[in-house]
Structure 1
Amino acid sequence: MKLLLKSATIIDETSKFHHQKKDILIENGAITQIATSIKKPTGYKEIVLENLHVSQGWFDTSVCFGEPGFEERETIQNGLETAAKSGFTAVAVNPNTNPVTDSKAAIEFIKNKAAKTTTQLYPIGAFTKNSEGKDLAELFDMQNSGAIAFGDYNKSVSNANLLKIGLLYTQNFGGLVISFPQDNSIALEGLVNEEKNSTKYGLKGIPSLAEELQIARDLYILEYTGGKLHIPTISTKKAVKLVKEAKKKGLDVTCSVAAHHLILNDDEISSFDANTKVLPPLRTQKDTKALIKGVKEGVIDIITSDHNPIDIEHKKLEYEKAKFGTIGLESFFGAVNQVLDIDTIVKCLTTNPLKIFNIPIHSITVGNKANITLFNPKEEYVFNKDHISSTSKNSVFLDKKLKGKVYGVIANNKYEIN
C-alpha cells in the first residue's frame, strides 16, 4: 500500500503536527513522511478530498454484532466493513451473542472471524456465565485469549457481592470490569424515561433513580475493593455528578456516553417510533445539557455509538414489544459533531478509550503505524437509509440533519475510503 494524503489538517494532540495542514506519505502501513508539500512519487495513489481532516483511528468501545447466533441482525464481516466506512479503525464488541461470549473458545472464535480486516475487533467478555448474573465467567482465561474487558451488555450486576468479588479478582491481572448502570428493581418493565412525556404518552417509565442508585452502589463497592470500573452509557445529570465526585476521591472509574444521549431527548417518543426505544432511555433536555458539559469537562471519558442492530421482526412492532437498541456507527460523527468541538470528539475516540482499554496509541508521526481516520467536519446532510451499511436499519437518527462526513480509514496496511 502506497498512499499520499494531500492537504490534510491533522487533529492529534499527541503529534507535533496538531492543527497543522500537511501532506502525509504512507508506505506498507507506516507513515514515512509528513511535510507541507510532497510531490507524488511514482507508484503512489494520491488522495485529494475536500476539507480533509485526519486523526488517529477512532475506537468505539460499545458495538454489537449478531454473530454468532443473530446473523440476521449483523455479521462480523459486514459490521467491521460498516465500522471502517464510519471512521472506526477499532471496535470493542459486546458479548450479547448466542451463545454468549463467556469463554476462551468464544473469544477465540470472534477474533478468528475478524482476522485480516481493516478495522480491528477487540472482544468484551461476559462478566457472568451466560450473562445471567449468577456466577463469574472465565475472566482470566478470556483476557489471556484477547478479551479487553468484562461486562454483561445492558444487564446490570444485581448481586452486589458478585461485583465485589469480580473487582477484587480482576486486580490480579489488571482486568477492567464494566457495570451497566440500572437498578432493575426500580426500572421494572419501563420503556422510556419516567417524566412528563411518559405520562403524556401513556408509556411505562424508567426513573433516573434506577441509574443513579446503581452507580452510587457500584462506586461504594469500588471504593471498598479497589480495581478498575467502567460505567457505560450514562444518561442523567446526577450520574455525571456521581462520577465526578468519585474521580475526585481518586477512584479508578471511567464512563462513557452514547452519541444519541448527547443529541436527542425524550420528546422523540411522541412519534411512538420504536427506533427511539433505547437503553438507557432518552432523557430530558436538562440531562442532555449536563452530559455535554460532562464530556467537555472530562468527567465523561468516552463517546460511543452504542451500535445495536435489531432485525425488523423485533423492532417494527408496538412500542411495548419492540427490543431496545439503535444502530449508531454510520450516524456517529454527523451527530456528535453538532454539539462538540473536533478536539474533544477526537480525544474521546482515541487517547481516552485507548488508555482505558489498554490498547496501543498510534500518533500521527513519521515512523509510526498508519492508523488514521479521514473526515470532513463541515458537510451537512439529512441522514436516511441510503447512508446505512448495517444489515439492520433501526436508526434513531433517520431523517435527522447531521453535520460532518467520514471519508474512511487507513489501518492494518489497508484502506477503506468512501
Structure 2
Amino acid sequence: MNILLKSAKIIDQNSEELHLKTRDILIKKGTIAKIAAKIEPEGKTRVIKHKNLHVSIGWFDSSVAFGEPGYEERETIANGLHTAALSGFTDIVLNPSTHPAPDSSSSIVFLKNAAADQLTSLHPLGTLTVDAKGIDLAELYDMKNAGAVGFFDFKKPLTNPNLLKIALQYVQNFEGLVYSFPMDTRIAGKGIVNEGEVSTKLGLKGIPILAEELQVARDLFILEYTGGKLHIPTISTAKSVKLIAEAKKKGLDVSCSVAVHNLSFTDDCLEEFDSAYKTLPPLRTKTDAKALIKGLKDGIIDFVASDHSPMNIEEKRVEFDNASYGSIGLESAFGSLNTLLDTETTIGLLTKGRERYGLKSPVLKEGEKACLTLFDPEVNYIFEEGHISSTSKNSMYMGSPLKGKVYGTINKGLFVTEEA
C-alpha cells in the first residue's frame, strides 16, 4: 500500500533542509519515495490529511512493561505494542517484569518472536541476575546475542556492590549495558511514598531522597573504578541530577532517564490516598520536579520514559499500603510532556535514546525506510478512560488536561491509526 501524507509539518532538528517545513511525503512499499511541496496521488494510494498534521521520525520509549508471559491479564505483548503504536511509539525497550523472568537467551528469543509481526519494534531487556534475585549473574553474553539490549533486575536495587562491579567489568567484552535501579533498600526500609511533609501529614511511611542519592553515588563510584556502560533508570531527585552531571564531566559512560509522571506530578497528589499515584520511585517535591525538567533541558538527563507499568484492578483498588506500584503511561506520554515543554523540545526528547541501546535511529529523507509518527501538537483535551488502549486502566493522568494528539504511526510497511 502506498501512503501520501498531505501538508505535513516536519519536526526534525537533524535536518536543516526539512525542519519546520510543510511538505507532502509519499511512501511506497514502506520506503519514503518522495518529499516535495506538492505531490499528486497516483494509483492505489491512501491519502492522509489532517488539520495541523505534523510528522517526525518514530518515537522511542526506554521503559515499558507489559505482562506476557505470566501476567497476561495486565497486558499482552500484541495489545501492548498496538497501544504503543497508537501512542506514537515505533520502538520500545521492554522491561523484564514477567514470570518467569527473562534470564536466558531462550526467553529473549520468545519475546522477540512474539513481537515480530507488530508495527512497533520490541527491544527486550534481560535480567542482570538469575531470576532477578540479585545473587548470581544471568547469561548476559548469550542474551545479548539473542537480542537483549541491556540487563536490569526490574525495580530491584542491587544490594551487593561487588556484583555490580563484576557485571560492569564483564560486559565490557561485548558492549553490554548494565542497569542499576536507584534505591538503597536499607535506607528506604518499609517506605512507600516520598519522605516529607506530605508523608508525615498522611501517616504514610516515607522513602527518603537519601535512599536514591546514596545508591546513585555508590554506583557512580563503582563505574569510575571499573569502566563499562551504566544506565540509571527513572531518577527522581534534584541531587541525583547533580551527581550524574558531575560523573559526566569526569567522562564516565553513564546515562539516565526520568519518568514523565515525575515531571508532571508531586507528592501533593497523595492526599486522597489514590493508589494510581503510587509509583517507584515515588513522586517527589516541586523542587525535584523543576530540577528534573531543567536536567532534561540541559542534557544531563539523557531521555524521558513513560515508565508504562500496567496493573490489574485487584492490584490497585486496595488499601494504599497494599497497592502495587505503577501507572500506565504510553497513551499520556506525549500529551503530558507537550504540556510541560514546547513541541520541538518534546519531539527531540521522544525521538532520542536509541543509540544508547545500539539501535539505529530512523532518518526522514527520500530513499529511507519510513519510520514516522503523525501528530497534532495543539489539541487540548481532558484525559479519560476512552483514551486508554491498554488492558489495565491504572493511569494517574485520569482527569488531567493534556495537549497533543497522535494520529498514527508508520513503520515496517505498516500503518496504525485510531481511524478505521
- With the shorter chain as reference, the TM-score category is over 0.9
- 1:412 is matched with 412
- 2:329 is matched with 328
- 1:169 is matched with 170
Which amino acid in structure 1 is aligned with residue 3 of structure 2? L
Corresponding residue pairs, total: 417
Q: Deviations over 1:250-293 (max 9, x none)?
A: 10111100000111101000110000000000000000000010
Mapped to 2, the partners of 1:343 and 1:353 lie a distance apart of 16
CA RMSD of aligned residues (A): 0.8
Mapped to 2, the partners of 1:153 and 1:11 lie a distance apart of 33
- 2:319 is matched with 318
- Residue 270 of structure 2 corresponds to residue 269 of structure 1: yes
Which amino acid in structure 2 is aligned with residue 310 of structure 1? M
- Residue 280 of structure 2 corresponds to residue 279 of structure 1: yes
Mapped to 1, the partners of 2:177 and 2:23 lie a distance apart of 38
Mapped to 1, the partners of 2:28 and 2:202 lie a distance apart of 57
* 1:41, distance to aligned residue in structure 2 (A): 1.6
* 1:14, distance to aligned residue in structure 2 (A): 2.1
- 1:257 is matched with 258
Q: Deviations over 1:340-387 (max 9, x none)?
A: 12222222222x311111111111110111000111110011111111
Q: Which secondary structure does the structure 2 equivalent of 1:331 belong to?
A: helix
Q: Which secondary structure does the structure 2 equivalent of 1:26 belong to?
A: strand
Mapped to 2, the partners of 1:343 and 1:228 lie a distance apart of 29
Mapped to 2, the partners of 1:411 and 1:177 lie a distance apart of 29
Q: Deviations over 1:215-268 (max 9, x none)?
A: 000000000000111110011000111111111111011110000011110100
Q: Which secondary structure does the structure 2 equivalent of 1:14 belong to?
A: coil
- 1:195 is matched with 196
* 1:330, distance to aligned residue in structure 2 (A): 0.5
- 2:227 is matched with 226
- 2:124 is matched with 123
Task: Tell me the TM-score normalized by structure 2.
Answer: 0.98
- 2:150 is matched with 149
- Residue 133 of structure 2 corresponds to residue 132 of structure 1: yes
- 1:343 is matched with 344
* 1:12, distance to aligned residue in structure 2 (A): 1.2
Mapped to 2, the partners of 1:10 and 1:180 lie a distance apart of 36
Mapped to 2, the partners of 1:199 and 1:407 lie a distance apart of 44
Which amino acid in structure 1 is aligned with residue 22 of structure 2? K
Which amino acid in structure 1 is aligned with residue 6 of structure 2? K
* 1:188, distance to aligned residue in structure 2 (A): 1.1
* 1:337, distance to aligned residue in structure 2 (A): 0.5
- 2:390 is matched with 390
- 2:11 is matched with 11
Mapped to 2, the partners of 1:21 and 1:123 lie a distance apart of 36
Mapped to 1, the partners of 2:390 and 2:301 lie a distance apart of 28
8 Å CA contact 1:6, 1:46 repeated in 2: yes
Which amino acid in structure 1 is aligned with residue 317 of structure 2? K
- 1:186 is matched with 187
Mapped to 2, the partners of 1:64 and 1:361 lie a distance apart of 22
* 1:43, distance to aligned residue in structure 2 (A): 1.2
Q: Which secondary structure does the structure 2 equivalent of 1:102 belong to?
A: coil
Mapped to 2, the partners of 1:341 and 1:356 lie a distance apart of 24
Mapped to 1, the partners of 2:378 and 2:201 lie a distance apart of 38
Mapped to 2, the partners of 1:210 and 1:374 lie a distance apart of 40
Which amino acid in structure 1 is aligned with residue 203 of structure 2? G
Q: Which secondary structure does the structure 2 equivalent of 1:247 belong to?
A: helix
Q: Which secondary structure does the structure 2 equivalent of 1:155 belong to?
A: coil
Which amino acid in structure 1 is aligned with residue 28 of structure 2? E
Q: Which secondary structure does the structure 2 equivalent of 1:148 belong to?
A: coil
- Structure 1 stretches lacking a partner, 5+ long: none
Q: Which secondary structure does the structure 1 equivalent of 2:321 belong to?
A: coil
Q: Deviations over 1:148-173 (max 9, x none)?
A: 11111111111100000000000000
- Residue 81 of structure 2 corresponds to residue 80 of structure 1: yes
- 2:41 is matched with 40
Mapped to 1, the partners of 2:157 and 2:57 lie a distance apart of 32
Q: Which segment drifts farther, 7-16 or 157-166?
A: 7-16
- Residue 399 of structure 2 corresponds to residue 399 of structure 1: yes
8 Å CA contact 1:12, 1:363 repeated in 2: no
Mapped to 2, the partners of 1:365 and 1:271 lie a distance apart of 49
- 1:65 is matched with 66
Identity over aligned pairs, percent: 56
- 1:23 is matched with 24
Q: Which secondary structure does the structure 1 equivalent of 2:234 belong to?
A: coil
Task: Tell me the TM-score normalized by structure 1.
Answer: 0.99
Q: Which secondary structure does the structure 2 equivalent of 1:33 belong to?
A: strand
* 1:61, distance to aligned residue in structure 2 (A): 0.6
* 1:50, distance to aligned residue in structure 2 (A): 1.4
Mapped to 1, the partners of 2:199 and 2:294 lie a distance apart of 25
- 1:52 is matched with 53
- 1:304 is matched with 305
Mapped to 2, the partners of 1:45 and 1:409 lie a distance apart of 14
Q: Which secondary structure does the structure 2 equivalent of 1:330 belong to?
A: helix
Q: Which secondary structure does the structure 2 equivalent of 1:171 belong to?
A: helix
Q: Which secondary structure does the structure 1 equivalent of 2:340 belong to?
A: coil
Which amino acid in structure 2 is aligned with residue 279 of structure 1? L
- 1:377 is matched with 377
- 1:99 is matched with 100
Mapped to 2, the partners of 1:149 and 1:100 lie a distance apart of 14
Mapped to 2, the partners of 1:160 and 1:378 lie a distance apart of 47
